[in-house]
Structure 1
Amino acid sequence: MKHLDNVDSTPAQRWTFLLVVSLGLLMIGVDNSILYTALPELRSQLGTTETQALWIINAYPLVLAGLLLGTGTLGDRIGHRLMFLIGLVIFGAASLAAAFAPGAWPLIAARAFLGLGAATMMPATLALIRITFSDERERNTAIGVWGSVAVVGAALGPVLGGLLLEYFWWGSVFLINVPIVVAALVLTVAVAPPNMPNPVKRWDARSSLYALVTLSSLVTAIKEAANPDRTGWLLAAATLSAVLGASAFVHRQRRLDDPLLTFDVFRSRIFSGGVLAASGAMFAVAGLELLTTQRFQLVAGYSPLEAGLIVVAVTVAAFPFSLLGGASLHRAGFAPLISGGFLAVAAGVGTAAWAGGHDALPLFIAALALVGAGAGAIMSVSSTAIIGSAPIRRAGMAAGVEAVSYEFGTLLSVAVLGSLLPLFYARSAGGDMLTGLNGAAYDDAYLTILLIISALAAVFAAVTGWCFRDNPKGAHAPE
C-alpha cells in the first residue's frame, strides 16, 4: 500500500491511518488508569507497600508529563512518523517487561519506560493527523475522533483492567498492549505519511530533564509529607530538589531562542483558566476512580470487574456531555460549561460521599454519573480555551501545555489523594493496612477524601468562574 503524501492518498488510507493513531492514543489513555482495579491483586502477589503501589501508578504519568513538552519538539526535528514508530517499540517492550516483572521496583521501572513510550507517541499522533488530512472538514472530524478516543481511553482503564483480572493474572493488563503495538507497527509502515524531519528545529534535552526532575521531586515530597513514618531528610531533599529543578527550568527557558515554554502565555485568563480546568477535572475524576475501585474491592468484597463497572458510570456520562459541551460552546460560552461543570462535579462527589456512608448504591452510581457529566463538559472545552487563546506562533507550545495539563492533574491526584488515604486510615484505625484491614476506618478515610474532592471542585468552580467572567463564546488566538 502506497505511503500517504497528503495529495494522492485515498480516503481508505487516511481513515485507516486514523484508526492506527487512535489505537496508539487509546493505549496511552487506558494505561493511565488500568491499574486502579489491579492494585489489590498487586499487593497480594508482589507484596507491595502503600508507597510502592502509588509509585506503580504514578511512574507512568510522571514520566509522560515530564517529557511531553520536549518530545513534540523532538518530533519536529526527526519526523513525527519516526517518533510514533519509536514510541510504539518502547511501549511494546515496556509492556512485556511490566507483565513479567518479578517485584514492585522492577514494575515501577517498567511503568516509567511505558511513560517514555507514551510521551514519544502522544504528540506525534496529533501531528500526523494534521499532516494526513489536508482537507479542513476531514481534519476537523479526525481531530474530533482523536479527542473522543483520549476521553474514552482514560475512563475505560478500570473496566478493562477488571475484565482482564476476572479471567487472567495481573500481568495481562500490560500484555494486552503487545498485539496492539504489533498491529500498529505494521499498519504505520503501510499507510502512514512519509517521515518529514526538520533538522533546523532545535530540541533542548536539558529542559525536559529539568521538568522531569521537578515533577519527580514534587511527587516524592508529597508522598513523604503524607507518610506517618516520614523521613525528614528525604522530605527536605525532595522539596529542595523540586525548587532547584523548577528554578533551573525557568532560567533555561528565558535563555533559549526557542523555549519549550514561555510563561507570558499564562497572562491570558482564558489560557490559565483552561489549564486549571483541564488539571482540575482530571484531578477529580482520577482520584474518584482510583479510590472508589479500591474501596469496593477491599471493603465491600467486589471483584475487580465489579468494581470497574461501578465507576463506568463516569465514562458513560462523560462521553455524551463532552460532545454536547463542544457543540454548545458557541451558544453558551466557557463560563457555564466549565464553572457549571465543576459545580456538577462538586455536587456529584458530595452526593457520592453521602450515599457511600448510607449504603445507597443506586444513588452512589447516579452521583458518579453526575460527576462524569460535569467533567465531560469541562474537558470538552478546556482544550479549546488553551489552544485557541495562545498566540498562533505558539500553537505547538499550547498543544504541549494542554497535554501536560491533563497528565499533571492525574499525577497530582494520585500523589495527593493516594497519600492521604493511608494517612487518614492510620489515624482512624491506629495502624496501617498491612496489619489487617479495618473496614470502618477505611470507609471513614475514603468518605473524608470524597468530601475534600467535592470542596476542591467548588473552589475550581469559583476560580474558573473568575477566569471566564466575561464568558467568551470561543477563544481567539492573537497573531
Structure 2
Amino acid sequence: MSSPRRWWLLATVSLGLVMIVVDNTILYTALPVLTGDLGADPSEMLWIINAYPLVMAGLLLGAGTLGDKIGYRRMFLWGLVVFGLASLAAAFSSSPTALIAARALLGVGAATLMPATLSLIRVAFEDARERSIAIGIWATTSVLGMALGPILGGVLLEHFWWGSVFLINVPVVVVALVAGGILAPKTSARRDTPWDLVASLMAMTGLVGLVYALKESVRPGGNLLHIAVAAALALVVTLLFVRRQRDQEHPLLDLALLRAPRLQVGFVAAALALFATTGAQLVLSQRLQLVDGQTPLGTGLVVAALAVGCLPTGLMGGALAHRHGIRRMIMSGLIVSAAGTLLVLATSPGVLPLLPATAGHAWVVPGLLVLGAGMGLTMTAASATIMSSAPAHRAGMAASINEVAYKMGTLFGMAVFGSVLGSLYTATIDLPPAAPPGAASSMDQARALAQALPAAPARALLDAATTAFDRGYLWTLVIGTALLACGALFTALRLDKTAPARETSPQSAAAPSEAGR
C-alpha cells in the first residue's frame, strides 16, 4: 500500500476508534437530561450506561477470531453498519428499555470494530517503525475521545435534544464507510479457522451476571434471591468458559498467559486506572449538574481536564518505562492517581470543610489533571507489561487481554461508583416534613419534585438531597482512592524490583493478533 493511502487509512480507523470511545463518555454530561426525559429509575440509569461497555467487553475476545473467518475489511465495514443502525435506534428510543437495548447493540458494533481497526493497521503498515508510530497515534486517539465525549455531549445538549448525542455518530459512520471501502485493503478470509461463538457468549453472560449481582448487592432493598442466582450464574458460566478454553485447540484465551506475574500486574493496573477515572468522571459529572447547577457543556469542559492531564504522561510513558522500569512506573502512576482522586474530593466545594459550597467548580481542575497524569503513566506501563508478558505469536491475544482490562475497568467503575452513590443517597437522605417520598430515590427525582413545591419547602428538600448526595460522592471517591493504593501495593508485592525489565520489540508490541490478523 502506498504511503499516503496507508496514512489516510490510519485516519479512517482512528476516526472509528474515537467514535467508540466517545460513546463511552458522552453520556456523562447527557445522563441527567436523558434520564429525566425518559423517566428512567436509578437501576435503568445504570444499565443505560453499562449495557454498551458490558456487551463490548464480553464480545472482544471472540471478535478477533471472527475477523479471521470473514476478513478484517469486511469486519470493519459491517461493524460500522451495526454501529450506525444502533445509533439511530438509540437516538429515537421512547423508553429506558429501548435505549438499553440500543446501547447493547452499539456494544456489538464496537466489539466488531475495535479489533478490525488494529488489524487493518497491521496489514497496511509493513515497516515495524512506521507500524509502531501508527499504533501510538491509534492509541492516543482513545484518550482524545475520552476528552471529546463530555464536551461534545455538552455542546449538543446546549442546542439539541438528548438523542443528538447518538445521532452524531451517523455522519461519522457514513464518512468512515466510504473511506474504508476505498482505502481498506482486502484481507484473505480463513474459512477453516474456528470461531468460538459459544465461548464469546459465555464471557458476556458471566460479566452480565457478575455486574447484576454487584449492582443488586449494594442497592438498598436488593433482592437476595436475584443476587444469589446472578452470582451463581456468573460463577458457573465462568468455570465452563475456563474448561472450554482448556479443551480448545484454538482458544479465545490462553490460560497459561494469565499465570505470568507481569501480565497479572498489568491487567490489574489497567483495570484499576480505568475503574477509578471512569467512576470519578461519572460521579463528578452528576454532581456538577445536579448540585452545582452547571450546564452540560460547562460540565464537559471541567471533566475534560482529566484527559488533558493524561495526554503528556501517556505519550512520554514509553521512554520513562524504559528508563525507570515497569514496576516503578505502575506504582508511581497508581499513587499519583490516588493523590489526584483525593485532591478532587478535597477541592469539591461543600463536600469537605476545606472549601465553602459557594466556591467555584474550577477548583477541581487541578485534581483532575493530577488524576489524569497518573492514569497516563499507568495505562502506558500496564499495556507495555501486558504485551511483553506474551511471546510474539501470542501478541494479539495479549492485546485482547489489554483491551478487556480497560473495558472491565470502565464497566465496573460505572457500576460500582454509580451503585454506591445511589445506594448511599437513598439510605442516608433525611427528608424534611411533607417532602414527596419519591425524592428519596435519586437526586434527579428530588430536583424534579422540588420544582413543584413552594420556595421554602423546595429549598429544604434540595438541601437534604444535596447532603445525602455529597455523602455518597465522598465515599465513592474514598473507595476509588483506596483501590488505587491497593493496586500500587499489589504491584510492589507481585513484581520483584530486582528482576530485569523485558523489552517489547516493535514487531511483537505492534502485532495485533495471530488469531486476528
- Same fold per TM (> 0.5)? yes
**Per-residue CA distance 1:79-129 (angstroms, 9 max, x = gap):** 111111110000000000000001101000000000000000100111110
Q: Which residue of 2 aligns with 1:457?
A: 484
Alpha carbons 2:42, 2:441 under 8 Å: kept: no
Give the match's secondary structure for 1:156.
helix
Q: Does the CA contact (< 8 Å) of 1:81 and 1:124 recur in 2? A: yes
Unaligned runs of 5+ in 1: 1-8
The separation in 2 between residues aligned to 1:318 and 1:435, in whole angstroms, is 35
2:54 corresponds to 1:62? yes
Cα 1:144–1:367 change in 2 (3 A) is same
Moved more, 239-248 or 57-66: 239-248
- Distance of 1:315 and 1:45 partners within structure 2: 29
Q: For 1:297 and 1:371, how far apart are their aligned partners in 2?
A: 21
Instruction: Identify which of 130, 152, 168 aligns with 1:138.
Output: 130
Equivalent position of 2:394 in the other structure: 394
Give the Cα separation in 1 of the matches to 2:134 and 2:411.
Answer: 28
Across the two proteins, how many residue pairs are aligned to each other? 470
Mapped to 1, the partners of 2:363 and 2:64 lie a distance apart of 43
Residue in 2 that maps onto 1:229: 221
Residues 1:441 and 2:468 are matched in the alignment: yes
1:282 equivalenced with 2:274 (yes/no): yes
CA contact (8 A) 1:35 1:161 kept: yes
Alignment partners' CA distance in 1, 2:503 and 2:246? 27
Question: What SS does the aligned partner of 1:450 have?
Answer: helix
TM-score w.r.t. length of structure 1: 0.95
Contact map agreement 1:59 1:112 (CA 8 A) in 2 = yes
Match of 1:73 among 59, 65, 81: 65
Aligned to 1:407: 407
2:458: which partner in 1? none
Superposed counterparts of 1:144-159, under 5 Å = 144-159=136-151
In structure 2, the CA distance between the partners of 1:65 and 1:351, relative to structure 1 (3 Å rule), is same
Asked whether 1:36 is paired with 2:28, we answer: yes
What amino acid is aligned across from residue 469 of structure 1 in structure 2?
D
- Counterpart CA distance in 2 for 1:293 and 1:435 is 17
Query: Within the alignment, does 1:179 sit opposite 2:171 as a pair?
Result: yes
Q: 1:215-254 counterparts in 2 under 5 A? A: 215-254=207-246
Q: Secondary structure at the match of 1:364?
A: helix
Aligned equivalent of 2:248, options 242, 252, 256 = 256
SS, match of residue 37 in structure 1 = helix
Match of 1:3 in 2: none
Asked if 2 retains the 8 angstrom alpha-carbon contact of 1:83 and 1:124, the reply is yes
- Report the AA paired with residue 232 of structure 2: L
Distance across 2 between alignment mates of 1:161 and 1:237: 37
| 2:441 paired with 1:432 | yes
Partner of 1:312: 304
Partners of 2:376 and 2:147 in 1: how far apart? 11
Whichever residue aligns with residue 411 of structure 2, its letter is L
For 1:382, the equivalent position in structure 2 comes to 382
For 1:388 and 1:77, how far apart are their aligned partners in 2?
27
Q: Is the 8 A contact 2:332 2:374 kept in 1?
A: yes
Q: Residue type of the partner of 1:152?
A: L
User: Which residue number corresponds to residue 337 of structure 1?
Assistant: 329
Structure 2: 5+ residue runs without aligned partners?
431-439, 448-461, 509-517
| Matching of residues 90-129 of structure 1 within 5 Å | 90-129=82-121
Change (3 A) 1:293 1:472: farther
Identity %: 47
Q: Output one character per residue of 1:422-462: Cα deviation in whole Å (capped at 9) or x when no partner.
A: 11112220432235551121111101211111111111111
Residue identity matched to 1:37? T
Question: Residues of 2 paired with 1:283 and 1:227: CA distance?
Answer: 19
CA contact (8 A) 2:302 2:362 kept: no
Corresponding residue of 1:196:
188
User: Which structure has the greater CA radius of gyration?
Assistant: 2
The answer for the alignment partner of 1:299 in structure 2 is 291
| Distance in 1 of aligned mates of 2:180 and 2:305 | 34
The amino acid across from 1:283 in the alignment is: F
Partner of 2:263: 271
CA distance in 1, matches of 2:266, 2:500: 13
The answer as to whether partners of 1:284 and 1:457 remain within 8 angstroms in 2 is yes
Q: 1:354: how far off?
A: 1.5
Output one character per residue of 1:193-236: Cα deviation in whole Å (capped at 9) or x when no partner: 11321122211111001101100111111111111121222112
Q: Please, what TM-score do these two structures have when normalized by structure 2?
A: 0.88
- Equivalent position amino acid for 2:196 in 1: D
Q: Relative to structure 2, which stretch is displaced further, 353-362 or 313-322?
A: 353-362
How far apart are 1:387 and its partner, in Å? Answer: 1.3
RMSD: 1.5
Cross-structure match for 1:372:
372
1:269-298 deviation digits (Å, cap 9, x = unpaired): 111111111101000110010110000100
Counterpart amino acid of 1:286? Answer: T
